[in-house]
Amino acid sequence: MTLEEFRLLRDHVYSHCGILIHEDMKFVMERRLWPRLEALGLLDFSAYHRYLRYDIQRTAELEAAVESLTTHETYFFREPAQLKAFCDELLPILEKRNARTRRLRVWSAGCSSGEEAYTVAMLLKDSGRFNDWDVEVYGTDLSRRVLAVARRAEYGPSALRATPPDLLERFFVPAGLNRVRVRDDVKAWVSFGHHNLTDEATSQLLPRTDVVFCRNVMIYFDQAARRRVLAVIRDRLCPGGYLLLGHAENLLSLGADFELVHLRGDLVYRRPDLLGGEGR
């Protein structure tokens, strides 16, 4: 892969989904995309770039390229201190605020293979606060492959490495050798969909939500793409709704449209509620 080919492919991926690949990752891009050239019978990366730009199958192939270039490492009950703050401090606020509608929506943005979305549903069930409510946890991701894994809801030891034993027993059932499946009552609260976080137009199809988990996602974006993603999240958050990021992420120089909230156990962000109302 020449430097010119790298830059053409990098810019094409960036314009599609906002993921920025730095020049020191050129070798990684070459190694990960070479099987796509072989599968299509193309001789070089210039031909591959032309394929992505003009071929009738370009949309599907661009998704395959992004799939090859992205990492989907996650597991259940990741960042437990933040999850504890969510349960102990945010859930009582949400229960009181939405008491009239008895409806709760949580969005796992960049949900990968579903562990985060199912974790949230398990925590909501474990709290006992919302058992007779209209509850939906929805996960979205750019990768159709990981969404298929999420919908299947079967996992092995790596995904369960931080799962408390009591919750493992309560919310999973055996699914073969060293595999478990999420219980049906948890799955009933969770749905998944394909979504590009930088696409403001299609984001209008998403429902308004009370909480957004967008953890370890924006580290892949540059400042301009992060601003687009934050605009989408703010638009989909109910006034007074909360945004939870990964511990390596913050909104410094980006968060003018969000308030920083100091919980006892964590820092989170909130869309200002200018009317100060409860419910929706």
Which positions are catalytic? Answer: 32, 141
H or E stretch at 239: strand 237-245
**Nearest alpha carbon to residue 137 among 67, 187, 85, 72:** 187
CA-CA distances (angstroms) from residue 93 to 51, 108, 173, 234, 241? 51, 19, 32, 19, 10
The values of phi and psi at residue 261, to 5°, are -115, 125
What lies within 8 Å, CB to CB, of 242 at 6+ separation is 90, 210, 211, 212, 261, 268, 269, 270, 271
Neighbour order of strands in the sheet with 180-182: 154-155, 180-182, 172-174
Q: Contact, 131 vs 176, CB < 8 A?
A: no
